[in-house]
């Protein structure tokens, strides 16, 4: 089983690598399109600004979207989830991978950003990522932009109003978490284990 952790030169992806290794399915960090194409599953971490990360991901965009369309399990984490959307307001109006419909917007100006801390999950629909994860489980967030709740929302949480915590494409093979499962204790590790079970 080969899991490609997409290394596009942004963000701290070592914690994702350690989390996957802990649940017994190590991933390989790579920015090589051939390795990503040959992988059984793909993880796209993300820390930083949307515009800069999309620019760095651009050389890999074709292979990423093709593998998603082929049904390969795909997990986007934090900014990696936001990049699944059609567009984001961060840095202007920047196009994402377009796998999930909708736009990522900044939190209301009255709120302290980044939103940082533990929030509980409100499950909106069933998904393999949430197998044996209880309603109301707490996970760790750190972000300044979010996606609204819509038909792509698998689970939501609240900070100045409800927003998407987990999103998925219509086929369900591409899923994103706004929070960091690799930093969310046993609940997050359960989700990483569930993701590997999707392969």
Per the annotation, the verdict on 78 as an active-site residue is yes
Rounded-to-integer distance, Cα 62 and Cα 198, Å: 22
Of the residues 17, 87, 90, 182, only one is catalytic, namely: 182
- Assess whether 87 carries a catalytic annotation: no
Question: Could you tell me how far CA 80 lies from the centroid of its own chain?
Answer: 4
Query: CA-CA distances (angstroms) from residue 133 to 44, 74, 142, 184, 186?
Result: 22, 19, 21, 12, 10
Residues 77 and 51 sit within 8 Å (Cβ to Cβ): no
DSSP-derived 3-state class of residue 101: strand
Neighbours of 124 (CB within 10 A): 19
DSSP-based three-state secondary structure for 90: coil
Q: What is the largest CA-CA distance in the chain?
A: 46
Instruction: Identify the three-state secondary structure at position 145.
Output: strand
Active site residue 127: no
Helix or strand (DSSP H, E) at 185: helix 185-197
Catalytic residue among 115, 127, 143, 180: 180
Instruction: Measure the CA–CA gap between 38 and 170, rounded to whole angstroms.
Output: 23
Task: Give the residue carrying structure tokens 């515009």.
Answer: 51
Catalytic residue among 17, 53, 78, 143: 78
The catalytic residues are 78, 180, 182
């Amino acid at each position: 089983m080969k899991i490609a952790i997409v290394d596009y030169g942004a963000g701290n992806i070592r914690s994702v690598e350690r989390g996957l290794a802990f649940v017994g399915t190590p991933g390989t960090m790579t920015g090589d399109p051939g390795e990503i194409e040959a992988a059984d599953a793909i993880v796209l971490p993300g820390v930083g600004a949307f515009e800069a990360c999309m620019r760095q991901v651009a050389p890999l965009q074709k292979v990423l979207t093709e593998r998603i369309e082929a049904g390969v399990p795909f997990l986007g984490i934090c900014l990696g989830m936001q990049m699944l959307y059609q567009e984001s307001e961060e840095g202007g109006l920047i196009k994402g991978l377009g796998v999930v419909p909708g736009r990522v917007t900044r939190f209301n100006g009255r709120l302290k950003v980044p939103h940082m801390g533990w929030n509980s999950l409100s499950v909106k629909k069933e998904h393999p990522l949430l197998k044996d994860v209880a309603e109301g489980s707490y996970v760790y967030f750190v972000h300044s932009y979010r996606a609204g709740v819509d038909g792509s929302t698998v689970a939501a949480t609240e900070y100045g109003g409800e927003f998407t915590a987990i999103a998925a494409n219509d086929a369900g093979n591409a899923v994103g978490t706004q929070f960091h499962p690799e930093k969310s204790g046993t609940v997050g590790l359960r989700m990483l284990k569930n993701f590997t079970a999707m392969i």
